[in-house]
Amino acid sequence: MLKWITPFSMQRLSNLMGKMKFPGDTVSVEQVACAAWPVAVGRRIAAKARAVKLVRSHLVVEVEDAVWKHQLFALRHQIRHKMDQNIGAGIVEDIEFRVVPARREPERARAIAAAAAQTDDAEAIADPLLRRIYKAARGKKSA
CATH of the domain at 52: 3.30.300
Q: What is the pLDDT of residues 109-125, one digit of tens each?
A: 777 766 666 667 777 88
What three-state secondary structure class fits 21?
Answer: coil
Domain that holds residue 60: 7-99
State how many domains the chain has: 2
Task: Say yes or no: 16 and 77 in one domain.
Answer: yes
Buried b (16+ CB within 10 A) or exposed e, 92-116: beebebeeeeeeeeeeeeeeeeeee
In a domain, 78, yes or no: yes
- In a domain? residue 126: yes
CA neighbours within 13 Å on the CB side: how many for 94?
5
Q: Classify residue 1: in a domain, yes or no.
A: no
67-111 pLDDT, tens digit per residue, is: 999 999 999 999 999 998 888 888 889 999 999 876 666 677 777
Q: Do 53 and 22 belong together in one domain?
A: yes
Q: Verify that 91 and 43 share a domain, yes or no.
A: yes
Entry pTM? 0.56
Same domain as 78, residue 22: yes
Cβ atoms 138, 120 nearer than 8 A:
no
pLDDT in tens, 13-67: 656 665 666 565 667 888 888 888 998 999 899 988 999 999 988 999 999 889 9
